[in-house]
Amino acid sequence: MTAIQVAGRIVESPLAVVSDYAKRYARTVREYDLAQADCPPNHACMQEVKRTRVIASRISNEQGTAMLRVLADAPWSRVPESAHLDQADPEIRGELYDHMLDLYLPLLDIPGVSHAKASKLLHLKRPALFPILDSKLMAFYRRPAAEAAKRHAQLGHRRLYWAACREDVIANREPLDGLRTELEDQEGLLKKMAALSDIRLLDILAWKV
HEC states along 23-69? HHCHHHHHHHHCCCCCCCCCCCCHHHHHHHHHHCCCCCHHHHHHHHH
> Residues 19, 199, 168, 100: what is their CA dihedral angle, to the nearest 10 degrees?
-170
Q: Is 153 exposed, middle or buried (0-12, 13-18, 19+ CB in 10 A)?
A: exposed
Q: Give the mean model confidence (pLDDT) for residues 38-51.
A: 94
pLDDT at 1: 65
CA distance 208 to 92: 33
Where in the chain are the domains? 4-208
pTM for the complete prediction?
A: 0.96
Q: Which residues contact 60 (CB under 8 A, 6 or more apart)?
A: 112
Report, as an integer, the average pLDDT of 69-89.
Answer: 96
135-189: pLDDT as tens digits: 999 999 999 999 999 999 999 999 999 999 999 999 999 999 999 999 999 999 9
pLDDT band at 73 (very low <50, low <70, confident <90, very high): very high
* Buried-exposed string 190-200: b where 16+ CB fall within 10 A, e elsewhere: bebbbebbbbb
Residue 38 binned pLDDT confidence (cut-offs 50, 70, 90): confident
Residue-level pLDDT at 21: 96
Mean pLDDT (the chain) is: 96
Query: Which tens digits make up the pLDDT trace of 92-150?
Result: 999 999 999 999 999 999 999 999 999 999 999 999 999 999 999 999 999 999 999 99
pLDDT for the residue 165: 98
Dist CA 12 CA 112 (whole Å): 38
Indicate the Cα dihedral angle 36, 40, 41, 43, nearest 10°: -120
Confidence category of residue 37, pLDDT binned at 50, 70, 90: confident
The per-residue pLDDT for 208 is 74
